[in-house]
């Protein structure tokens, strides 16, 4: 990464302050005043709207293979997603992904 030490610290500080402002927003500043229903509705979908767009390219074209599709990594990604949908729990899904990834790497002689 090309971030300098100072830039990394600045980023940490800004993300921290920004996150705090979000957390403080209603409880601290807005109080009991009502907010538009459409805003609350949009907010409901933020995590699920951001993460897939971020992760899909990482899973399909990983840096580790120079951006080529890696069957092992794609399989591990699908296993992670499937276990997450099934068990509804982050740790189960991480476990499934890790096991699939290492089994795949071992079977294809990469480990």
How far is the first Cα of the chain from the last one, in angstroms, to the nearest whole number? Answer: 27
Q: Which of 7, 68, 69, 108 contacts other proteins by CB under 8 A?
A: 7
Please answer whether residues 101 and 107 qualify as being in contact, where contact means their C-beta atoms are separated by less than 8 angstroms.
no
Q: Does 15 bind other proteins (CB under 8 A)?
A: yes
Task: Report in angstroms the alpha-carbon separations of 104 from 33, 63, 71, 75.
Answer: 54, 18, 9, 8
Q: Does 109 bind other proteins (CB under 8 A)?
A: no
Q: Which of residues 45-64 bind other proteins (CB under 8 A)?
A: 45-64
Least distance between other proteins and beta carbon 71 (Å): 13
Q: Which of 42, 69, 107, 108 contacts other proteins by CB under 8 A?
A: 42
């Amino acid at each position: 990464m090309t971030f300098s030490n100072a830039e990394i610290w600045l980023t940490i500080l800004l993300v921290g302050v920004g996150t705090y402002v979000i957390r403080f927003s209603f409880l601290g500043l807005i109080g009991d005043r009502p907010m538009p229903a459409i805003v609350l509705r949009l907010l409901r979908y933020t995590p699920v709207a951001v993460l897939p767009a971020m992760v899909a390219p990482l899973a399909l074209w990983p840096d580790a293979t120079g951006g080529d599709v890696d069957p092992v990594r794609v399989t591990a990604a699908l296993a992670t997603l499937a276990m997450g949908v099934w068990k509804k729990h982050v740790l189960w899904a991480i476990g499934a992904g890790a096991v699939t990834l290492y089994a795949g790497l071992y079977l294809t002689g990469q480990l």
